[in-house]
Amino acid sequence: MKKFFRILWRALLVILILLIIFIAFQFFKRVTTANNQLRSLGEPATVLVEEGFEYRDLNKNGSLDVYEDPRADIQDRIDDLLSQMTLEEKAGTMYITMIGMTPKGEPLSKPIFSTNPLHFMMAFFMPTASEMLAIKKMNSFNTLNAYDTRTMATFNNNLQKLAERSRLGIPVTLATDPRHITANNPGAAIYTPAFSKWPSHLGLAATRDTNLIRQYGDIARQEYVAVGFRLALHPSADLATEPRWGRVYDTFGEDAKLSARMTRNYIRGFQGDSLGAHSVANMTKHFSGGGPQKDGEDAHFPYGKEQVYPGDNFAYHVIPFSEGALPAGTAQIMPYYGIPVDQTSENVAFGFNKEIITGLLRDSLGFDGVVCADWSIISDSKMGGGRAWGVEELSPLERTQKALDAGLDQFGGESSSELAIELVEKGMIPESRLDESVRRILRDKFRLGLFDNPYVDPDQAAKIVGSTEFRAAGERAQAKASILLKNDNILPLEKGIKIFAEGIVDTSPLESYGSIVKNQEEADVVVMRINSPFEIRNDFFLENFFHQGRLYYSDEELGKILATISNKPSIVVANLERPTILTEINEATQGLIGEFGTSDKVLADILFGERKPEGKLPIELPSSREAVQQQKEDLPYDSKDPLYPFGHGLSYN
């Protein structure tokens, strides 16, 4: 037996040594490749002076080119740059995907040792920064990292320095999903503590305050610009007519006119009255409305690929774009993954649908900005198959051709620029078709001032991002968005009261008004925070982050809630990520508040009357699971006998 264990130990030791050697080999191989790729880039641009005028010599030719001259007309600058670009550089410009960031603010080109799963994913499942910049000639990226302000600002500068070393010095457009809300979903929103904290977009709609949402856009703009984000992959102008959809929180509710007003002012806050050097460009999504998902299933996944219109209400979902995003001058538009079933002559997803992109968006609505595909509709990857709904049988090359023919300009979540190159080289599309899209993409870079100065000041960024003033504005918005759904003469609470708190992370704000007791029997009132229910799914990576499926609490979940609130006067605070069924809870509690990302501090102020809940429901709250099942995916306000209707919201006397 001892001999057996000795042999086993030696075998395991050999395996361990071989594993270490393999990992070391892969590590040094990646490091060597990255170093070689980075060395293939040229020198940084120098600042030259011509007749007293300073300019950045981006193509390093020692003279002032038109595209390098901030005084020149933007169209002339585009023409000049486009005439100098190779086919490979044009193709690279038409792709935007995720790029990794190290804790020191370096673009992730070499593997780093980290227990962070995001670092692991970016290092081993995504193309490296060096490959995308030096080999694929890309110059648009988004990042999922959420570091401190200085790190993010430093990352922008380091990334721009690498881009400056490219042959023509085309600057990077750095994009991001929403970062100012508490949701954390790599497919939709990125929780970033450094930024000021605001209610979800659904909560902003609950305020009905167009001035407030423009203020939010302006503050978010300042924080984005400070760290280098110049393209916002939002807002979502989708309508929440299907209550089970996992992205309801990311919309402005189910009313098209309300959504149009909020969308319009949101964009004006980010972009200003026109896109300029101090703007953040908006990529409004998801044309022509990504809300009516069949059975509420999300189109990120194969089972959610269908968008249906049983109420014949397709045109209703276009209103937030035609009366909101487009009049506000949104710079860019993103179609969703889904197939608008039986709305066009072929049942293919929006990104491949010429009748939607060219026929409706460009020809009918007159949009001439960038149209960018949602992430990963073309290529299979280590993260999963391409979401080419309706054209799954086509090859990646054929999918690319069909998307370009439909009217797309840029491919999100993709780095397969070789496909666009192959289409031109095989004569399947003319190079002039690429020129058309590249012109639009370059136009936004020029309008944003990136060619003139893409760098930021990390010290200044630290003063701007998450400032006391901005955080205070976010807290005011949190309170204004909160909705008083029910009040049986229990709110606001009297100071000095004994509170049993459940589901509240930080009870210290409550203790500034009353006392916290650990035994429910000693309490004068129970305050309980609850989240929206959902189904846990694990077949796909992103399912871990999308809260989908049921809107009702399981028997076990409901039993725990009712057991907590039924023996004492109680107040339930429900986070309305989606239209939750609260019927039994509503009956058992004396006070019910709906919130959209309210901090414990702001909640305490509301409970004791220092702040007032002012919100009105931007969605209906259904009364039963049967009512939810009977709703039509594309119709607003069609829940039978809702617990609380659209627009409901009480106030303190």
Which are the catalytic amino acids?
Answer: 374
Q: What is residue 279's DSSP assignment?
A: -
For residues 526 and 564, the answer to whether their CB atoms sit within 8 Å is yes
Distances (CA, A) of 451 to 57, 69, 71: 10, 9, 12
CB 224: neighbour CB atoms within 10 A? 24
Helix H, strand E, coil C: the string for 530-546 is ECCCCECCCCCHHHHCC
Q: Can you tell me the distance from the alpha carbon of 529 to that of 502, in angstroms, rounded to the nearest whole number? A: 6
Using the Cα atoms of residue 169, residue 175, residue 179 and residue 184 in order, give the sign of their dihedral.
negative
- Give the residue from 179, 144, 96, 89 showing the smallest Cα distance to 373: 96
CB 605: neighbour CB atoms within 10 A? 21
**The tokens of 465 are what?**
């991002």
- Give the residue from 456, 449, 461, 369 showing the smallest Cα distance to 171: 449
Find the DSSP H helices in 40-98. Answer: 74-84, 87-93
- DSSP conformation letters of 461-507: HHHHTT-HHHHHHHHHHHHHH-EEEEESS--SPPTT-EEEEES-S--
Bin 269: left if φ > 0, else alpha if -120 < ψ < 50, else beta: alpha
Q: Can you tell me the distance from the alpha carbon of 224 to that of 638, in angstroms, rounded to the nearest whole number? A: 38
Q: Is 624 exposed, middle or buried (0-12, 13-18, 19+ CB in 10 A)?
A: middle
